[in-house]
Structure 1
C-alpha cells in the first residue's frame, strides 16, 4: 500500500508542476532560458512542446492568413533552437547536458515540421499536415495535460521518467507514431516488424515516454516464444 501511495503522490506532484509550467510558459515576459535551467528534464521537454504548440496554433489561426505571422513564428522557433544549442557550450553537468541535448533533438524536429508547414502555405489548424504532429496542451478547465496525435487525444500519465535521451525523429518514426495512436484509439495494439537492430523497440518505448506512461520490455526465452514483448 505504501508503494501505491508513493506512486500516487509522485503523479499528483508532477501534475501540479506541469500546471505551473503551463502558466509560466504562457507568460510572454518569461525568460525561457532561465526557466528551462531551473526545471527537471521532463518538465523542460513539456515546456518547449507547449511553447511550440501554442505558437504554431496561434500562427495557423491568424484570420488574415498572413504569411508574415507564419514567418515570425518560424523565426521565433529558430531563435529557441539557437538558444538551446548555445547552452551546450557552457560547463554543464552530465545530467544537464543530457537534458539540453534531448531538448535540441525534440525542438529541431518541431522547427523542421513548422518550416515545412510554412513552405506548403498551410494556414489552418484543421489541415492534416498539422494534425498528424504530436501536440501538447494543458486543459485548465479539467486540470489535465493532453497529448494529441491526429484526431486522438491521450491524457498524460504523469509517470516520473527522469532524465532520459530521446531518439532522433524521422518521417518513418512519425508514421509509426501515427499508426500506433490510431491503433490504440481503436483498442488495438501494434507489432512493428523489420530487421533486428533498426529501432523498433526503442521507437515504441519513446512513443510511450512522450505520454509519461509506464512501459516495460519483457524479453522471453527464444525457445518459448521466439521474441520479446513490450507491454504498457
Structure 2
C-alpha cells in the first residue's frame, strides 16, 4: 500500500505540468493529488522567491494571481456535476489552496523577499526528491520523511492561525 502511494506520488509530481491543474486532479487518487498540490505550492513559491532574487519584484504577486485563478476554477468545478469522491477531493484541495493563498498574501503584505523568512519557514512545506524518490515534509528547521500511510479521501479542517500553530 505504501509503495503504491509512493509510486503514485512520483508519477503525479512528474505529470503536474503536462496538463491544466483542474484536469490533472482527476488523473490521480485524492491523497496523491492533495500531497502533490502541496509539493507544487512549495516549489512555485520557491520559484517566485528565485525570480524576486533575480530582480523581478512582482513575482510573488503574479503567483498570488495564479492561485486566485486556480481557486476560481475549483469553485466553478464544485458548482458542476461531480461524483461524490471527486467533489470531496476538490473541496479538500480548495481548503488547502485557500490557506496557501493566504500565506502568500501575508508574505506579500509583509514584503517578504526571500525563502529564509520565518513566515515562510514556519509553514508545512512538502517537497519531492527525484534522486531519492521520496516526499519530505519540512517545517522550520525540521525535516520528516512522508510515510505514505493511507489517508483516503477525507475532508480537512479549515486552516486558521490557531490550527496552523
Q: Under TM normalisation by the shorter chain, which class is it?
A: over 0.9
Task: Name 1:45's counterpart in structure 2.
Answer: 34
Match of 2:12 among 17, 21, 30: 21
TM-superposition CA deviations, 1:131-170 (whole Å, max 9, x none): 0011110011111100111111111111111110100011
Match of 2:137 among 138, 147, 154: 147
- Structure with greater helix share of residues: 2
Give unpaired runs (5+ residues) of structure 2. Answer: none
Query: Secondary structure of the residue that 1:45 maps to in structure 2?
Result: helix
Give the aligned length: 164
Partner Cα separation in structure 2 for residue 158 and residue 139 of structure 1: 14
Do the aligned residues in 2 keep the contact of 1:137 with 1:146 (CA within 8 Å)? yes
Of structures 1 and 2, the larger Rg is shown by 1
Q: How far apart are 1:61 and its partner, in Å?
A: 2.1
Task: Name 2:124's counterpart in structure 1.
Answer: 134
Task: Name 1:11's counterpart in structure 2.
Answer: 2
Partner Cα separation in structure 1 for residue 10 and residue 22 of structure 2: 19
Query: Secondary structure of the residue that 1:61 maps to in structure 2?
Result: helix
- 1:80-95 map, 5 Å: 80-95=70-85
Tell whether 2:22 aligns with 1:33.
Answer: yes
- 1:1-232 map, 5 Å: 10-25=1-16, 27=17, 29-62=18-51, 63-175=53-165
Partner Cα separation in structure 1 for residue 123 and residue 91 of structure 2: 21
Give unpaired runs (5+ residues) of structure 1. Answer: 1-9, 176-232
Q: How far apart are 1:65 and its partner, in Å?
A: 4.3
CA RMSD of aligned residues (A): 1.2
Partner Cα separation in structure 2 for residue 145 and residue 57 of structure 1: 16
TM-superposition CA deviations, 1:165-218 (whole Å, max 9, x none): 10001111111xxxxxxxxxxxxxxxxxxxxxxxxxxxxxxxxxxxxxxxxxxx
TM-superposition CA deviations, 1:106-144 (whole Å, max 9, x none): 110000100110111111101110000111100111111
Q: After TM superposition, where is structure 1 displaced by more than 3 Å over at least 4 residues in a row?
A: none
Do the aligned residues in 1 keep the contact of 2:22 with 2:73 (CA within 8 Å)? yes
Q: How far apart are 1:68 and its partner, in Å?
A: 1.4
Task: Name 1:188's counterpart in structure 2.
Answer: none
